[in-house]
Amino acid sequence: MKPRALFTDGFNSLWHVVFGILAIRFWFIMPIFIIYQLLDLNDANWLVDILEFCVGFFASILFVVFAQYGKIKYNLVDKFWMKLFNDIWRKQI
């Protein structure tokens, strides 16, 4: 069975992206989501589902980076991720 294209599964795809967005605030969502997807490796779309999750997660990361260095005020990001982003940012400069 051929895997489907990204974002072609309606609300199911939307939930994957939303979980990716929420994972930046609630870190425990990421391992739960990935383990859940890996439980059924016979499904042809498990990798597509994880990629949709990653799209939401990395879009959130980009938002945080632009918000932090663009001086936008926000309270949605967990301190764990902010420390990680700050450490990465300082190493690149």
Cα 87 to Cα 51: distance, rounded to the nearest angstrom = 25
Buried b (16+ CB within 10 A) or exposed e, 36-52: ebeeeeeeebbebbbeb
What pLDDT does 72 receive? 54
* Banded pLDDT at 70 (limits 50, 70, 90): low
Report whether 29 contacts 23 (CB < 8 A).
yes
Q: Examine residue 82 and state whether it is found in any structural domain, yes or no.
A: yes
Cα 48 to Cα 76: distance, rounded to the nearest angstrom = 27
What pLDDT does 88 receive? 74
Q: Examine residue 72 and state whether it is found in any structural domain, yes or no.
A: yes
**Between 29-38 and 11-22, two packed helices, what is the crossing angle to 10 degrees?**
140
86, pLDDT greater than 90: no
Q: Structural domain of residue 38, as residue ranges?
A: 11-92
This prediction has a pTM of 0.74
Pull the structure tokens for residue 76.
Answer: 């949605």
Q: Examine residue 1 and state whether it is found in any structural domain, yes or no.
A: no
Q: How many domains does the chain have?
A: 1
